[in-house]
Amino acid sequence: MTNKQLNTLCQKWQKILRLQDWDVTASFCSAKDMTTEGRVAETRINFNNKTASVMILASKERPMLPGKNKIWGTLSTLIHELLHLHIEPFVVKCPEQDIDRTQVEQGIECITSGFMTTIGEDS
């Protein structure tokens, strides 16, 4: 998949997730481009401008899924990152709630898995 194809997929899922009012770009990157080591993807978000940059590790650098004989999928990773645009405002605006990052990531991953099951793909 090329970056252009990834952005086409991103636009499709922005519509499905009701994120059409966001200006989102998606690209494949190398692990050295990530701000935190060990991530499969990351999203840089500007809430004021409603812009985001989704970076997904190139498939050759992605790790295997825990307990499965395949790498993290591009689509499930993209959906997961787009869901952050809906969820992060609650985390950022409610610091007094002591929300654990792991809980946020697990919740987003459960929603992503539901989408993947609905469309007939394994996450």
Q: What is the pLDDT of residue 106?
A: 87
Total domains, the chain: 1
Token duo for residue 52: 């985001």
Q: What is the pLDDT of residue 31?
A: 87
Assigned domain for 37 exists:
yes
Assigned domain for 84 exists:
yes
Residue 48: strand, helix, or coil: coil
DSSP single-letter state for residue 20: T
Alpha-carbon gap, residue 73 to 86, rounded angstroms = 21
What's the full length of the chain, in residues? 123
Q: Which CATH number covers residue 83?
A: 3.30.2010
Q: What is the pLDDT of residue 122?
A: 58
pLDDT(54) > 70: yes
75: CB partners within 8 A, 6+ apart: 9, 116, 121
Domain region containing 73: 3-118
Token duo for residue 4: 């252009």
Assigned domain for 64 exists:
yes
Tens digits of residue pLDDT in 19-47 = 999 999 999 998 888 888 878 899 999 99
Assigned domain for 34 exists:
yes
Assigned domain for 123 exists:
no
Tens digits of residue pLDDT in 98-109 = 667 778 888 888
pLDDT(55) > 70: yes
